[in-house]
Structure formats: structure tokens, C-alpha cells
Amino acid sequence: MISKTKVSKGHLTVVPKHIRKSLGVHEGDVLEWTTDGRQAVVRSRKRRTVDDITAIFSVGGDAVRDKKRLARGKL
């Protein structure tokens, strides 16, 4: 299903309801915007809890690499 939204003053737009529901996007969630050639790519990035963050460090490994992966939503 294709949805269209309009960019308003201040460059604001609305995430269509069916997309919010299917991705579980809620008020306060972060959306990451990038471009892929001539297309915009929007990804939902979930908020991390303290338990998520402590679990990352309890596993061990490379903290710098893990921080970068966490920032990209890949952890």
C-alpha cells in the first residue's frame, strides 16, 4: 500500500497510521532518514532501556564497535 504525506511548514510530515502500526512506532521514537540514490529511506529506531545497554556490556567484546552498532540500530 502506497501512502502519500505532505511536507508542511517547518519541513514536518506525518507517518501514516498503517506504517506506524506495522513498525510499532510511537510518540517519542526516533526515525532515521538516509538517501539511497534518489530515494529517501526511513528506518524506525527503538529506544534502548537500561537493561538493553547493560546487557551489551555484560557480554564483553569491543565497546567502541558495539557503541557504533547500537547507534545504527544493529545491536
Does the pLDDT of residue 13 top 90, yes or no? Answer: yes
pLDDT, residue 66, reads 77
pLDDT digits (tens, 9 = 90+) for 22-63: 988 888 888 999 999 899 999 887 777 777 777 766 666 677
- Cell numbers for 39: 530515494
What average pLDDT score do residues 11-32 get?
A: 90
Cα(9)–Cα(44) distance, rounded to whole angstroms? 23
- Choose the weakest-confidence range: 15-19, 50-54, 64-68: 50-54
33 DSSP β-pair partners: 42
pLDDT, residue 10, reads 94
pLDDT, residue 48, reads 72
- Residue indicated by cell numbers 532518514: 33
Contact yes or no for 45/54 (Cβ under 8 A): no
